[in-house]
Amino acid sequence: MKKLAKHILLMLLASGGISKGVAQDTLQLNFREAVNIALEKNLDYQIQVNQMEVLQKEKQVALLSHLPTLGVNSNFLRQSGQQFQQVEGEIVVTNVTNDIISGNLNANLPVFNSGRRILDTQSAKLAYEAGEKGLERARQQITFDVAGRYLQVLLDIELLRIARQNTANQKEILRQIEGFVDAGIRTVSDLYNQQSEVARVESVEVDAEIALENDLWTFTEYLQLDPGVVPFLEAVDPAQALKEFQEYGVEELYDLAVQNRADKAQQSLLKDSFQKDLKATKAMYYPRINAFYNYNTFFTSLDDRSIQEQFLRIYPQNTLGFNLIIPIFSNFQSRLDVARSKVAYQNQVLREKATDRKIYQDVKLSHQNYQAALRKERNTQVQVQAAEEAYKAVQERFRLGLSTFVDMATANQQLVRAQADQAQAVYTLFFQDILMRYALGTLDFLG
């Protein structure tokens, strides 16, 4: 299958089956590589990746908020003009220039704020975990999108192979009929009918080539490959669909989806995060206590002693204390903040419920389509077997002159249609297996 896909694609490139508007290079890709390229090029996914850096910093800041804040500041200034000094109990006014250097060390530590620091830390941690779950679901979405386009190209290659094989068979039959007409076994009308049939199947082959080319370029555009680069996709075996979900009911599958869906976990984590934010905002209604420590010192040029002596021995001051803040009236700003947090929490509750409904709908629809794909795949096996036997019988009767050209053409068309239906059914079942895993939240790279 893999060699056949490569052969067909290279034939299209060599024969001009794919447009030659620009110079083209082939890029060999397997499914995993295609997904990696899509992840690198997808705008929304990269935005989410960048957003995770912000969430990481917010989580870090919330954790460090439990530590005291420290600050150092210093001032260098010159005062010129009248200076007031106390000398021996009297105030002396002199007109001098005073150079001053001051230094301050400040430390503040929240002692009590109704648990706001703890709530903020928990909220930031939950928001970061929700971001990770959102990123996981985004990867699954891109994997699913790539899978659909990837399998469509492989299906087009298989349908083109069937069309090419049918064209070759019809040309061989035409060659045989020409011999029969020369021998007088068949009429000229059979020859004309077969020539018409060859022309028809050649048109079908052209349509298959165009479908392959269009889907291939659509896939190329989704991966945002460079102009002129045509991907050559390594084949996957659609028969590897495990069919492991055929015995599961909708409720069982829904329970699996609730356990595994990253978007479900994301919405739940966000709800808890918003709830923590709401509680943290309500904490602003209550008194707060902060501990503080200040160290102040300075140097003045009016003092003849050295900078070191003034800074370190004469003028240092240490202040240690507590700051009590009692909210009384803040123009309803705290109430506004609480109202906003409450609405954000309520909206997130609605989003979580909507996600639950969507998960059930996804699982139910995927289950229905999966069961239908299973039945269709089994039916097409019988269809192909019957069509092959019918074609062999009619072909032998036609060779013996016991059946008409119409019988032969009808049997061939049924066989080709059955082969195409079987190819579509096999790939559809494989895709439905992927869709089921996507609905359950267990989709990963195809092996």
pLDDT value for 20:
47
Largest CA distance in the chain: 145
pLDDT value for 193:
87
- With 80 as the cut, is the pLDDT of residue 443 above it? yes
pTM greater than 0.95? no
Task: Over range 267-286, report the average pLDDT.
Answer: 94
Highest mean pLDDT among 62-66, 110-114, 270-274: 270-274
The full length of the chain comes to 447
What's the gap between Cα 95 and its chain centre? 74
Average pLDDT, the chain: 87
Local confidence band at 151 (pLDDT 50, 70, 90 cut-offs)? very high
pLDDT value for 311:
86
pLDDT value for 84:
65
For the chain, list the domains and their CATH numbers: 73-111+287-326 (no CATH), 113-286+332-447 (1.20.1600.10)
pLDDT value for 1:
46
The tens digit of pLDDT for each residue in 157-176 reads 999 999 999 999 889 888 88
pLDDT value for 329:
87
pLDDT value for 96:
77
The tens digit of pLDDT for each residue in 296-330 reads 998 888 788 888 888 888 889 999 999 999 999 88
The tens digit of pLDDT for each residue in 220-265 reads 999 999 888 888 898 888 776 667 888 889 999 999 999 999 999 9
The tens digit of pLDDT for each residue in 2-33 reads 444 555 555 555 444 454 444 457 888 888 99
pLDDT value for 24:
58
State the Cα angle at 326 between 320 and 329, rounded to 5°.
Answer: 140
92 or 325, higher pLDDT: 325
pLDDT value for 80:
83
In percent, the amount of the chain with pLDDT more than 70 equals: 91
The tens digit of pLDDT for each residue in 190-203 reads 888 889 989 999 99
